[in-house]
Chain A
Amino acid sequence: MATPSYSTIVKDGLWDNNGVLCMLLGMCPTMAMTTSATNGFGMGLATAAVMASSNLLVAIFRGYITYEVRVPVFILIVASMVTLVDLTMNAWMHELYKVLGLFIPLIVSNCLPLARLESFAAKEPVLPSLVDGIFMGLGFTFALTAIGAMREIVGSGTLFADASLLLGPAFKFMEMRILPPEASVLVMILPPGGFLATGLLVAGKRLIDIRAGKAISMGGAHCVG
């Protein structure tokens, strides 16, 4: 299989083969972390950092990793990158760590990074692998932010609450109140809301794709094309 072009990699990561909306991978952090748009965004970025660095490392070392031990080596690399992000954030981005800290170790159990290592970085050159890691990660961030925004607007009536905690005081302007507190539907920030929002977004993505005349095929590591 020829290495896909960069524009294909970017489009795949962000939309066509989006990790959450299309491959339905990484559901554990997707459900747990999307009670607000800010949380989803932060979790997405942390995952993107892990995906970009582990994709890069696997692509660099792929000549040395034999087929028989590839899975333990991949897991070792992902786990090391997660620990690295965890320690670094705790030491130097402590406010953010207090929000996301509990969920960083969850990235290890996210099958999306592992899936990209196996199906992309293990076969492709270094630069495309790095790009794939970055854009798969950004696609994941986009999906989590969208799910978080839906749940937050309906569930607590706000959007990007506490964004200034995550991004710094300059982003205070993003914090909005959309609905009065009395109008909020609590179930959306409880676990069922995660499934509802994710389901609606997956359906929405399919609808847009069908309108655009794209072929839809279900599941698998690559669901479009």
Chain B
Amino acid sequence: MSKPSYVHGLILGAFCLGFGVVLAGTDMVTSAPIAQRALEDKQNALSKVIPPGIHDNVPVTDTITLSNHDGKPITIYRATKGGKVTGVAYQIEGSGYAGEMRLMLAVDADGKILGVRALAHKETPGLGDKIDTAKTDWITRFDGLFLGNPPADKWKVKKDGGVFDQFSGATITPRGVVAAIRHGLEFFAENKTQLLEVR
């Protein structure tokens, strides 16, 4: 004897309601710790590219938003000391061998690189992942450089006539990173006044 179809509907509805309530409850309990963890992650990433000595503020909460060429909003984390902007950090994107790579770039007030770190990428383990500081210190090679040292047309990997080493067996990943950093520095040059403006 089969039940009328609305009975099945009610049963399904009751389960949806019940589990909906459970999930809503879990979300309420966990949303604050999750936001806290996300903030800590960002702080971690920032503390690796911004030296602690150059700021007396908390860069992760001192942000402004600018838009880049494509109109995409970019969050800028600012390091200030004594009311002056001493450095800015922002996320840059490059295309690697296996899709987008996200990096954090920090630049001081003169446009010199304070540090670069890979945040997330899907590059081949053992080849392209040498951009991670956990594997090699290749990416620290950029510290202290700026547009002009080397000159803009030399901001390439050696294979393309530039000055930066590629990895044996992997050219696409370093090429993507070098291009991303160059674009990041150009972004700084174009928006310098806004970036360093004291609010």
Please give the residue numbers on chain A whose beta carbons come within 8 Å of chain B beta carbons, in ascending order: 35, 61, 64-66, 68-69, 72-73, 76-77, 80, 83-84, 87-88, 90-92, 94, 98, 155-156, 184, 186, 189-190
* B residues near A77, Cβ cutoff 8 Å: 15, 19
Are the CB atoms of A189 and B12 closer together than 8 Å? no
Tell me whether B183 is interfacial, beta carbon within 8 Å: no
Find the B residue at minimum CB distance from A84: B26
Knowing A83-B23, A94-B37, the reply to whether A73 touches B11 (Cβ < 8 A) is yes
Known: A77-B19, A91-B33, A92-B33. A72 touches B26 (CB 8 A): no
Residue of chain B at shortest CB distance from A95: B37
User: B3, B27, B30, B124: which has the most chain A beta carbons within 10 Å?
Assistant: B30
Q: Which B residues lie within 8 Å of A76 (CB)? A: 15-16, 19
Residues on B lying within 8 angstroms of A by beta carbon are 3, 5, 7-9, 11-12, 15-16, 19, 22-23, 26-27, 29-30, 33-34, 37, 40-41, 124-127
Known: A76-B16, A88-B30, A91-B30. A156 touches B11 (CB 8 A): no
Q: How many residue pairs bridge A and B at CB < 8 Å? A: 64
Q: Secondary structure at chain A's binding surface: helix, strand, loop or mixed? A: helix
Whether A87 contacts B126 in the complex (CB less than 8 A), given A66-B3, A76-B19, comes out as: no
A90 in contact with B19 given A35-B125, A65-B11, A66-B11 (CB within 8 Å): no
